[in-house]
Amino acid sequence: MTSLAQSRGAGVTPRRRGARIGVGWIGVVPFGVYALLFLAIPAVLAVASGFFTQNGTFTLANFDTFADPTTQKDIIGSIGLSAVTAIAGAIAGAIICYALLPMRADGLVRTVVDAASSVFAQFGGVMLAFAFIATMGNTGLLGLIINGLFGDNTYTSPLYTVPGLVPVYLFFQIPLMVLTFMPAMEALKPAWGEAVATLGGTRLTYWWRVGIPVLAPAFFGCAILLFANSFSSFATAAALISQGGLISLDIFRASTSETVIGHANEAGSLALAMVVVMIVLMTAYGALQRRAAKWANR
Amino acid sequence: MTAQRTTPAPKLEPAQDRVMTPLQAGPAAEPFVAGRAGRAARYGAAPSRATARVILVITSVLFLLPIVAMGIFTFRANGGGYTVGHYLDLFNPALEYNYDVLFQGIQNSLILCLITAAIILLLMVPTIVLIEMRYPRLRRIMEFICLVPITIPTIVLVVGLAPTYSVVARFVGSDAWTLAFAIGVIALPYAYRPVAVNIAGVDMRTLTEAARSLGAGYLSIMWRIILPNLRRGIIAAAFITITVVLGEFTIATFLGRTTFQTGLLQVESGDPYVAVIFALLALLFGFVILLIIGRVGSIRPKNKD
């Protein structure tokens, strides 16, 4: 909405070439209309629908869902899963970034790691779930090996529960950490290492007094990004778990079960809760990122 | 030592700019080689090559394991033992109706790739270029619009897309291709970044002014100056859009349309082997595409300081 208003405003400002006034701003309009129709309106509708009944009258009844023990359990489940995979993913990802430091930025290793990380971090979803069904599912490789060693039916797959999602989620959390934390790692200046060495410090001194303090804001910022990523992800969980247990699965169930009267708009109130969490997370992320940028620009 | 200290360090873009996009299609930063000074004189952040190799090998093994498991899975016979039968099933006309939904999904997804790429290339890219050249004051707003979909979970957006689409259906019908409008929004952050990075590395204003003073018209400037200079960013944006479309699942499920991902999930319940074959192929395809983006992106623009 702002984009439209602003683009009109800009079109009126006098420019050096009079002939081009008035034509140029029309070029900005199609994209503005597109963003309005498919980004702004759906975002507003999603959050606002929580305040209305299906007939369109204002209500707060949709928020009763937060008193439902199942919803509470699922929100805690989402937060727990996100926290565990964010912390573990951030630590593992940071170690991988550390190992990538001696590799040339435009070399083969870095290019392959970048591409693989993008595949796992973004492209994965359902296909990642399949990979884990083949690995840890009831008839997967792990079950085959364990049953072969200890006799038939000793293996029961942990994959189809919320805790079972932890290894699967780590498969997109760790790569996302590698992609987002690597720039911060690369911003460590060689001069700082030289300075520590000249002053007689060891590498331990370097990490304790320079490396860790400089990287801390970026590290926690990326960990928050990972939390948000896990909290809002849907595809992998939907492919593995059918009975719910996460807030994203609840949104799907609420919005598709239009046969159950009066529940469809609960998706709106759940979406609102999710947006509130995301706003808090992204504000914290932005603040930490600004702090991290302090060193990157010197 | 002193000489080294005065050498300007590789200039990095502000961290928040780089970090917002998980996909790094922009030019990579300078390699960090302080740790290579030799065994005794190592200092700074980088580990020794041996340590680095150990960590990277362990990681590679752990990450390849599920992929290898997928590969093995596709050769497993139903009653035990191994077979290539599942690959042959794909070409068995008698079983074809089992996979109809998947083939329909692939077809829909390919059409979606074309339309979504068109939205990105014909709507987003020209708008970015126009704003860069004529309305720099709109740059911040454009950046905000393009990056905001990353902070709104798709699962939230889709709750609002359902009523939007009931209106859309009235004008253009409810065929699968209409999903391109919604997926285009999801692709914006990923497609915006490589184009923006590319533009930042090229002095558009000077180039266009030079062209104009030599008598070039608007079309000529577009075709002969701007597009060639933005080629890398545009290619990366197009490829990233393709991976976003092929990987998209949430929107298609919510709106009940058949795409590659929803087709995969539907086929999986009946014939998991064929679903895994296609998932494996898609993962490899995605990897190759992103590898190409990485190679395209890592060639540094000449006039970047």
pLDDT of residue B63: 92
Q: Residue A184: give the domain boundaries.
A: 64-125+167-296
pLDDT of residue A35: 94
Shortest CA distance from B75: residue in chain A: A134
Q: Tell me, yes or no, whether A87 and A177 share the same domain.
A: yes
Is residue B29 included in any domain, yes or no? no
Q: Which of A28, A75, A130 to mutate to probe the B interface, most B CBs <10 Å?
A: A130
Residue B20 scores a pLDDT above 80: no
Shortest CA distance from B255: residue in chain A: A256
Is residue A157 included in any domain, yes or no? no
- E strands along B213-270, which residues? none
Residue B50 scores a pLDDT above 80: yes
Q: Under DSSP, is residue B302 helix (H, G, I), strand (E, B) or coil?
A: coil
Shortest CA distance from B178: residue in chain A: A38
Token pair for A218: 């970026």
A186: chain B residues, CB-CB within 8 Å: 12, 29-30, 32
Residue B247 scores a pLDDT above 80: yes
Among A residues 188-207, those touching chain B with beta carbons less than 8 Å apart: 188-194, 196-198, 203, 206-207
Q: What average pLDDT does range B49-53 have in this prediction?
A: 88
* Residue appearing with tokens 């709507």: B123
Candidates A37, A194, A293; nearest CB to B5: A194
pLDDT of residue A203: 84
Q: What average pLDDT does range A228-250 have in this prediction?
A: 87
Q: Tell me, yes or no, whether A22 and A109 share the same domain.
A: no
- Residues A151 and B22: their CA atoms lie apart, in Å, by 44
Question: What is the DSSP track for B77-120?
Answer: -TTSSB-SHHHHHTT-GGGHHHHHHHHHHHHHHHHHHHHHHHHI
Of the CA atoms within 13 Å of residue B148, those in its CB half-sphere come to 16
Mean pLDDT, rounded, of chain B: 81
Number of structural domains (chain A) is 2
Contact A10 B138 (CB under 8 A): yes
Q: What average pLDDT does range B282-290 have in this prediction?
A: 90
**pLDDT-derived band at B192, boundaries 50, 70, 90:** very high
Q: Residue B262: give the domain boundaries.
A: 89-298
- Residues A233 and A245: their CA atoms lie apart, in Å, by 13
Q: Tell me, yes or no, whether A11 and A111 share the same domain.
A: no
Q: Tell me, yes or no, whether A116 and A230 share the same domain.
A: yes
Is residue B227 included in any domain, yes or no? yes
What is the rounded end-to-end Cα distance, in angstroms, of chain B? 23
Q: What is the ipTM of this complex?
A: 0.80
Q: Tell me, yes or no, whether A39 and A175 share the same domain.
A: no
Least confident of A24-38, B83-97, B247-261: B83-97
Contacts for A249 with CB less than 8 Å, ≥ 6 apart? A74, A234, A237, A238, A241
Q: Tell me, yes or no, whether A26 and A72 share the same domain.
A: no
Residue B3 scores a pLDDT above 90: no
**pLDDT-derived band at A8, boundaries 50, 70, 90:** very low
Is residue A134 included in any domain, yes or no? no
Is residue A261 included in any domain, yes or no? yes
Least confident of A7-16, A25-34, B102-111: A7-16
Q: Tell me, yes or no, whether A195 and A245 share the same domain.
A: yes
Is residue A190 included in any domain, yes or no? yes
Q: What average pLDDT does range B23-46 have in this prediction?
A: 51
Is residue A187 included in any domain, yes or no? yes
Is residue A143 included in any domain, yes or no? no
pLDDT of residue A10: 43
Contacts for A141 with CB less than 8 Å, ≥ 6 apart? A134, A135, B69, B72, B73
Q: What average pLDDT does range A250-257 have in this prediction?
A: 82
Is residue B289 included in any domain, yes or no? yes
Q: Which helix (H) or strand (E) holds B205?
A: helix B204-213
Whole-prediction pTM = 0.81
| A:B CB pairs within 8 Å | 353
Q: Which long-range contacts (CB under 8 A, 24 or more apart) does B57-66 make?
A: B59/A96, B59/A99, B63/A116, B63/A120, B63/A171, B65/A135, B66/A128, B66/A131, B66/A132, B66/A134, B66/A135, B66/A171
Residue B166 scores a pLDDT above 70: yes
What's the CATH code of the domain at A272? 1.10.3720.10
Contact B123 A34 (CB under 8 A): yes
Is residue B245 included in any domain, yes or no? yes
Q: Tell me, yes or no, whether A38 and A186 share the same domain.
A: no
Number of structural domains (chain B) is 1
What's the CATH code of the domain at B142? 1.10.3720.10
pLDDT of residue B23: 43
A15: chain B residues, CB-CB within 8 Å: 134
Is residue A22 included in any domain, yes or no? yes
Helix (H) and strand (E) counts in chain B: 16, 0
Q: Could you tell me which of B128, B23, B134 has the C-alpha nearest to residue A116?
A: B23
Residue B162: burial class (beta carbons within 10 Å; 0-12, 13-18, 19+) = buried
pLDDT of residue A161: 83
Q: How far is B211 from chain A (nearest CA, A)?
A: 15
Considering A223-232, B10-19, B89-98, the range whose residues carry the highest mean pLDDT is: A223-232
B286: chain A residues, CB-CB within 8 Å: 119, 123
Q: What average pLDDT does range B141-165 have in this prediction?
A: 89
pLDDT of residue A19: 44
- Residues A107 and A2: their CA atoms lie apart, in Å, by 43
- Residues A211 and A236: their CA atoms lie apart, in Å, by 35
Is residue B64 included in any domain, yes or no? no
Candidates A132, A141, A274; nearest CB to B153: A274
A41: chain B residues, CB-CB within 8 Å: 160, 164
Token pair for A107: 């070399």
Question: What is the DSSP track for chain A?
Answer: -HHHHHHHHHHHS--S-GGGTTTGGGGGHHHHHHHIIIIIHHHHHHHHGGGB-TTS-B-SGGGGGGGSHHHHHHHHHHHHHHHHHHHHHHHHHHHHHHHHTTS-TTSHHHHHHHHHHHIIIII-THHHHHHHHHHHSTTSHHHHHHHHHH-TT-----TTSTTTHHHHHHHHHHHHHHHHHHHHHHTS-HHHHHHHHHTT--HHHIIIIIIHHHHHHHHHHHHHHHHHHHHH--HHHHHH-SS--SHHHHHHHHHH-TTSTT-TTHHHHHHHHHHHHHHHHHHHHHHHHHHHHHHHT-
Residue A16: burial class (beta carbons within 10 Å; 0-12, 13-18, 19+) = exposed
pLDDT of residue A70: 84
Q: Tell me, yes or no, whether A21 and A92 share the same domain.
A: no
Nearest 5 degrees, angle CA A63-CA A69-CA A74?
A: 85
Q: How far is B239 from chain A (nearest CA, A)?
A: 12
Q: Tell me, yes or no, whether A171 and A230 share the same domain.
A: yes
**pLDDT-derived band at A42, boundaries 50, 70, 90:** very high
**pLDDT-derived band at B186, boundaries 50, 70, 90:** very high
Strand partners for B76: B82
User: Residues A170-185: pLDDT tens digits?
Assistant: 999 999 999 889 888 8
Q: What average pLDDT does range A20-31 have in this prediction?
A: 74
Is residue A25 included in any domain, yes or no? yes
Q: Tell me, yes or no, whether A40 and A68 share the same domain.
A: no
Is residue B53 included in any domain, yes or no? no
